Structure 1
Amino acid sequence: MTAESGSGASSAAVPSASASAPPTATGTVTTAVPARLDRLPWSRWHWMVVIGLGTVWILDGLEVTVVGNVAGRLAEAGSGLDITAAQVTGVAAALYVTGACSGALFFGWLTDRYGRKRLFLVTLAVYLGATAMTALSFESWWFFLFRFLTGFGIGGEYAAINSAIDELIPSLYRGRVDLVINGTYWLGAIGGALLSILMLDTGLFPPNLGWRISFGLGVVLGLVILLVRRHVPESPRWQLIHGRGEQAEELVSAVERGIEREKGEPLPPPAGEITIHQRRSIGFGLIAGTVFARYPRRACLGLALFVGQAFLYNAVTFGFGVILTTFFGVPTGRTGYYFAVIAAGNLLGPLLLGRLFDTVGRRIMISSTYLLSGLLLFGTAWLFGRGVLTATTLTACWCAVLFFASAGASSAYLTVSEIFPMETRAMAIAFFYALGTAAGGISGPLVFADLTASGAVGDTALAFRIGAALMCGAGLVAAFLAVKAERRSLEDIAEPLSAARPSPAGTP
């Protein structure tokens, strides 16, 4: 199935397969589809992919922020739940992350096996259903159960969405687009913070209703995203590997024709071809062997990046509102204003720094964003421990920390989605997300909740320093092990496991 050196469809057929072969027929194919995707200019089609897939992070940010900000209200009499603030920011947060780890592994395996499109529709449906059930909570156990299931859905989203985005976006833009998409989580966080202010106003809504409406509005937004997502296609790269080469060629040809009409000029020829042995599925043994035996340095890098950002973000996201109310006397109905400010800092990080990951390079930018955020957090811990901060100045410090940390955290997802072979991509994302988040994301909320609940300034400062040390450690690992992936095709960064290698001289 060798593609022509233009934007047209391939004219050759799959060897050993007739023109009427089923779409899952396998064989050996030579194709330019990856190169054709990478040489595409930015277009309306790419915007459709970004909106259809990336906007779910807005929903995630909105919901997680709402939970953090309503923790105090849920613990108050009349909320409709017999639950404490520490249980919301500790137990419920840990269950949410546990569900996310489990969902990432489960749906990540299904994504590599059955395709990106099928799974990113299923995972969003699971996420929306569990969120709706959270809004109907009447007992603490019900709330805990559906926080776990909500996390289960979002974990699957991380695996399915990041793999699809990287396989559809041209290599020239992949870094900045991936960072900005993951960073839009914080656009949702701003909305969640402001929404919680409105929903927690007892002059507008009774204590047992406002927080439920907050979750319900998230479901409405998710349904709108689901309607857009239906139009996002399957990854042509996945189709090629899994015996759907003709579908991949047809899809890419249709995209090329649309872009040529939009731009009013023909596309340049693709840079090259690749020959692969198609297969219907990849076993866990081969995936594990590839990630750890073939790429041990990259595995170490992915784990370090995920542990650092997972501890910091899960702890802060679920615990910032409690810190404001415990140490600075900020009313529960006002914490949303402060969280909106640090969410804005998080959003600006990937927006302003994302382009540099494609120009300055991955190694410099990943290591520097992790190290800078860690050093600034050490400074924040020192100032907090001395008692010289107010609610406003603490928020300003966190805003500076998270400006760099957000870009670094987003680059963790970018890194593991592009440095391993295509056949393992979703599972690699799922594995490092699950393992890193289990190490940092489950322990983070529990440690943070325990230390902040003590009411001792020194304990909370210690929690800050733990997060800072993990971020600095990850930055040092990236300085030595980060991969030069900027502006390179995914197949060049990590050769597909199915790629056909030239036979030794004299061998047929």
Structure 2
Amino acid sequence: MPDTFRTDIPHRLDRLPWGRFHWLVVVALGVTWILDGLEVTLVGSLAGAIHQSPSLRLTESQIGLTASAYLLGAVSGALFFGWLTDRLGRKRLFTLTVLVYLTATIATGFSWDFWSFAIFRFFTGAGIGGEYAAVNSAIQELIPARRRGTTDLAVNGTFWGGAAIGALSSVLLLDPAVIDPELGWRLAFGIGGALSLIVLLLRRWIPESPRWLMTHGRREEAEAIVGDIEAWVARDTGRLPPVEGKPIAIRPRSHTSLGEVAATMFRTYRQRSVLGVVLMACQAFCYNAVFFTYALVLTKFYGIEAQHIGWFMLPFALGNLMGPLLLGHFFDSIGRKPMITATYGIAGVLMALTGLAFAQGWLSAWEQTLAWTVIFFFASAAASAAYLTVGESFPLEMRAMAIALFYAFGTLVGGVAGPALFGHLIEGGQRTDIMWGYLLGAALMLIAAATEWKLGFAAEGRSLEEVARPLSHAGEE
């Protein structure tokens, strides 16, 4: 590897005014969450049709298990592709993960039994999980520090734009007057495949992260990319502001061992690790438990027909989308710690009240949907902030792996167990049993709020290298 060198690449990137380049990054990389939202909502909205499909005939428990298969795939994909992302770079993984997703989601439409459906969902999740690690890393490393919170929350929130697309698509494709529902639910899985083809084209214009390049000794390449970005932004905004801050000295390395990753997480940044685990696991349980099984609640307890489920999913999705978009800038202005605490706490209290109202039968289908829309307006911002926190908590050389590990652990603890548990509770047919599931979710959100208040840290407006010093850092000039 090259000898130690000094660079101001992070400062040059952080001082840039917002321009078309940043919009390209947001659109080309943020599509990941749209695809994930589309996949999750499709299975939720199509649950009734899949349950009634003459070729599949999945039970409520099997539908819950296929949701868990998707999440297990996401965990596996996040860990494997996250490891590759830190070793091989952010850009190389973009095409690979999208291709895995594209192939698997189209294959889902050709499923013939429970096992084929579950396996294809597993690999669909693997593609999306791999995207989380690579894309979250790249976005945080390319976006200026003063806009990182707003941007990260907005991008993560676009999950619900995909959810809205999925909800509307299901309404059309499950309408017997338009198409045979048995064919309709199969065609629905082709929507993600079509969107991912557009993603492949857009990502051709996204460069490798200069921050990743500098820590791997590819200084000239990193400088050239930053120069191109500066020229692009200058064409949009005019003269660029001066570079502030001292250059940092970098001692390049080819890779970071898993042992060093573990030592950094559990020794150097032990409190941040605890915080990341709690935030990720608690939001994953609440989201996946409620969202993956809400269609079953609507059909079983409110008598809503399968082809109408999408109309109830749509306001739910829009509320989730608006939360990060409207609240995101407060995470940069008011600060991470107070906003994360507030959003988790408000969501937890409202979830407990809604669970009690559901058990008493006080809510109609639309009132239940309105309640979830308000709750997840706050919970969506909280969940997006969990990804933001994990990405900011650890050094650049292990950022993708850290995101993958915390996503994996949170999803395994909260995401896989949640849908399976709620699928079992719904199949039992007792409102009181489901209420206890909702109260469990509420308690977890309140625990997350308390943990953030105790262990949260200020990252707003600070460079990534200031929040977590790179492992390759060798001092300042």
Sort the TM-score into its range (normalised by shorter chain): over 0.9
**Residue pair 1:30, 1:273 contacting (<8 A) in 2 also:** yes
| CA pair 77-152 structure 1, distance change in 2 beyond 3 A | closer
Q: Secondary structure at the match of 1:30?
A: strand
* Residue of structure 2 in register with 1:298 after alignment: 272
Q: What is the CA deviation profile of residues 197-220 of structure 1, one whole-angstrom value per residue up to 9, with x for unaligned ones?
A: 111112221132101111112210
* Residue of structure 2 in register with 1:117 after alignment: 91
Q: Secondary structure at the match of 2:5?
A: strand
**Residue pair 1:96, 1:149 contacting (<8 A) in 2 also:** yes
Q: What is the CA deviation profile of residues 38-57 of structure 1, one whole-angstrom value per residue up to 9, with x for unaligned ones?
A: 00000001011111100121
Q: Does 1:67 align with 2:43?
A: yes
Displacement of 1:85 after TM fit?
Answer: 3.4
d(CA) in 1 for partners of 2:25, 2:310: 31
* Residue of structure 2 in register with 1:232 after alignment: 206
* Residue of structure 2 in register with 1:4 after alignment: none
**Residue pair 1:74, 1:85 contacting (<8 A) in 2 also:** no
* Residue of structure 2 in register with 1:338 after alignment: 312
d(CA) in 2 for partners of 1:218, 1:97: 17
Equivalent pairs: percent with the same residue?
A: 50
1:439 counterpart (380, 391, 413)? 413
What letter corresponds to residue 159 of structure 1 in structure 2?
A
Query: Could you say which structure has the greater relative contact order, defined with CA pairs below 8 angstroms and 6 or more residues apart?
Result: 2
Displacement of 1:82 after TM fit?
Answer: 3.6
d(CA) in 2 for partners of 1:395, 1:82: 27
Q: Does 1:26 align with 2:2?
A: yes
* Residue of structure 2 in register with 1:85 after alignment: 60
* Residue of structure 1 in register with 2:151 after alignment: 177
What letter corresponds to residue 119 of structure 1 in structure 2?
L
What letter corresponds to residue 19 of structure 2 in structure 1?
S
d(CA) in 1 for partners of 2:2, 2:166: 47
d(CA) in 2 for partners of 1:81, 1:230: 39
**Residue pair 1:74, 1:84 contacting (<8 A) in 2 also:** no
Match runs of 1:331-370 below 5 Å: 331-370=305-344
Q: Secondary structure at the match of 2:434?
A: helix
Q: What is the CA deviation profile of residues 372-398 of structure 1, one whole-angstrom value per residue up to 9, with x for unaligned ones?
A: 000000110111111111101111111
Q: What is the CA deviation profile of residues 20-49 of structure 1, one whole-angstrom value per residue up to 9, with x for unaligned ones?
A: xxxxx4321100000000000000010111
* Residue of structure 2 in register with 1:243 after alignment: 217
Q: Secondary structure at the match of 1:384?
A: helix
Q: Does 1:466 align with 2:440?
A: yes
Tell me which structure has the larger Cα radius of gyration. 1
What letter corresponds to residue 86 of structure 1 in structure 2?
S
**Residue pair 1:194, 1:340 contacting (<8 A) in 2 also:** yes
* Residue of structure 2 in register with 1:186 after alignment: 160
d(CA) in 2 for partners of 1:440, 1:258: 42
d(CA) in 2 for partners of 1:484, 1:354: 15
Q: Does 1:417 align with 2:388?
A: no
Q: What is the CA deviation profile of residues 334-364 of structure 1, one whole-angstrom value per residue up to 9, with x for unaligned ones?
A: 1111110111110010000000000000000
* Residue of structure 1 in register with 2:347 after alignment: 373
Between 485-494 and 258-267, report the one with greater CA deviation: 258-267
Give the CA RMSD over aligned residues.
Answer: 1.2
Q: What is the CA deviation profile of residues 460-488 of structure 1, one whole-angstrom value per residue up to 9, with x for unaligned ones?
A: 11111111111110010001111100000
Displacement of 1:491 after TM fit?
Answer: 0.3
* Residue of structure 2 in register with 1:428 after alignment: 402
* Residue of structure 1 in register with 2:18 after alignment: 42
Q: Secondary structure at the match of 2:146?
A: coil
d(CA) in 1 for partners of 2:36, 2:476: 46
Displacement of 1:86 after TM fit?
Answer: 2.8
Between 275-284 and 265-274, report the one with greater CA deviation: 265-274
Q: What is the CA deviation profile of residues 392-428 of structure 1, one whole-angstrom value per residue up to 9, with x for unaligned ones?
A: 1111111111000000000000000011111110011
d(CA) in 2 for partners of 1:32, 1:426: 22
Displacement of 1:502 after TM fit?
Answer: 7.2
Runs (4+) of structure 1 exceeding 4 A deviation are: none
Between 169-178 and 494-503, report the one with greater CA deviation: 494-503
Displacement of 1:84 after TM fit?
Answer: 2.0
**Residue pair 1:26, 1:280 contacting (<8 A) in 2 also:** no
**Residue pair 1:96, 1:150 contacting (<8 A) in 2 also:** yes
* Residue of structure 2 in register with 1:55 after alignment: 31
**Residue pair 2:7, 2:248 contacting (<8 A) in 1 also:** yes
What letter corresponds to residue 172 of structure 1 in structure 2?
R
**Residue pair 2:217, 2:252 contacting (<8 A) in 1 also:** yes
Q: Does 1:315 align with 2:283?
A: no
Q: Secondary structure at the match of 1:224?
A: helix
What letter corresponds to residue 61 of structure 2 in structure 1?
A
d(CA) in 1 for partners of 2:204, 2:231: 21
**Residue pair 1:240, 1:248 contacting (<8 A) in 2 also:** yes
Displacement of 1:119 after TM fit?
Answer: 0.8
Displacement of 1:271 after TM fit?
Answer: 2.4
Q: What is the CA deviation profile of residues 188-239 of structure 1, one whole-angstrom value per residue up to 9, with x for unaligned ones?
A: 1011011101111122211321011111122101111111012111000000
Displacement of 1:68 after TM fit?
Answer: 0.9
d(CA) in 2 for partners of 1:261, 1:61: 35
**Residue pair 2:17, 2:240 contacting (<8 A) in 1 also:** no
2:229 counterpart (247, 251, 255)? 255
2:103 counterpart (122, 129, 147)? 129
Q: Secondary structure at the match of 2:145?
A: coil
d(CA) in 2 for partners of 1:110, 1:77: 39
The structure carrying a bigger helix percent of its residues is 2
d(CA) in 1 for partners of 2:404, 2:233: 33
d(CA) in 2 for partners of 1:271, 1:49: 25
Displacement of 1:327 after TM fit?
Answer: 0.7
* Residue of structure 1 in register with 2:457 after alignment: 483
Q: Does 1:269 align with 2:243?
A: yes
Between 330-339 and 259-268, report the one with greater CA deviation: 259-268
